[in-house]
Amino acid sequence: MAAIHLEQWPLASTTLPRMSRRVAAGVLLVSLELLAGCATFRTLNAGKPDTPLVYSGTRLDWYAMHGGCCPLDRFGAEPPRYPAVDLPASVLLDTLFLPFTLAAELGVALNVSGGL
């Protein structure tokens, strides 16, 4: 069996720089997200009655981007400083939390407990 050296691997020279650029872009996106705040966590932690739960972070970002007048009254939370930057992460998190927020909206008890 012949040994394959790294320099003979056809993707070695092209994939590695692209991968490091992707990692750098991912780190930058996460850093911007942390600086901007997360509308999903803000709205789900607000604890204000009669506020929307399903896609709440996405809705708060959209509301703020379109000049909504009173997000604190409507969502129980202030929007992030840069809602357009926060929007993709809020869509992702709201989608991940969708089963739980739907259950909460419908009043279904999931009997889930946290902790270790």
Four-residue CA torsion sign, 82, 88, 93, 94: positive
Q: Where are the domains of the chain?
A: 38-108
How many angstroms from the chain centroid is the CA of residue 60? Answer: 13
Residues 6+ apart with CB under 8 A from 103: 109, 110
Tokens of 63: 């509301």
Residues 6+ apart with CB under 8 A from 107: none
Residue 111 has what pLDDT? 73
What tens-digit pLDDT sequence spans the chain (116 residues)?
Answer: 555 555 555 555 555 566 687 888 877 777 766 655 788 888 888 878 888 899 999 999 999 999 989 999 999 999 988 899 889 989 999 999 999 999 988 888 777 666 55
